[in-house]
Amino acid sequence: MANSKANAFALIDIQCAVKLADFLNAPLKELPKLIPIYGYNGQIGPPITTILWIYLCVDRQRQYNVPFLITDLGSHNIILGRK
């Protein structure tokens, strides 16, 4: 998704995260503190409670131990963004 204006670096859909965690044998980790989220329209969504740490490779650039925040992304599997 280009130009998502997401203030989070890496977001992953719940179903995709579960499948990926199972495939990679990577545990989902509970956050010590909930992260509130707001939609593009300013409406409050359910808070993020879980993360998945994985390696990321984009255009031959590798980033290790990237924390993907797990949330409902609707029709998208992953959103990469930055503030």
Please report which residue ranges of 7-79 form alpha helices under DSSP H. 14-24
CB burial readout 38-77, b (16+ within 10 A) else e: eeeeeeeeeebebbbebeeeeeeeeeeebebbbbebeeee
What range does the domain containing 56 cover?
Answer: 10-80
Report yes or no on 16 lying in a domain: yes
Please report which residue ranges of the chain form alpha helices under DSSP H. 14-24
Q: How many domains does the chain have?
A: 1
Joined tokens for residue 78: 């992953």
Report yes or no on 25 lying in a domain: yes
25 torsion bin: left (phi>0), alpha (psi -120 to 50), beta (else)? left
Report yes or no on 4 lying in a domain: no
Report yes or no on 3 lying in a domain: no
- pLDDT, tens digit only, all 83 positions of the chain: 444 445 668 889 999 999 999 999 999 999 999 988 877 677 888 899 999 999 988 889 998 999 999 998 889 999 887 65
Report yes or no on 60 lying in a domain: yes
Q: Is the pTM of this model over 0.75?
A: yes
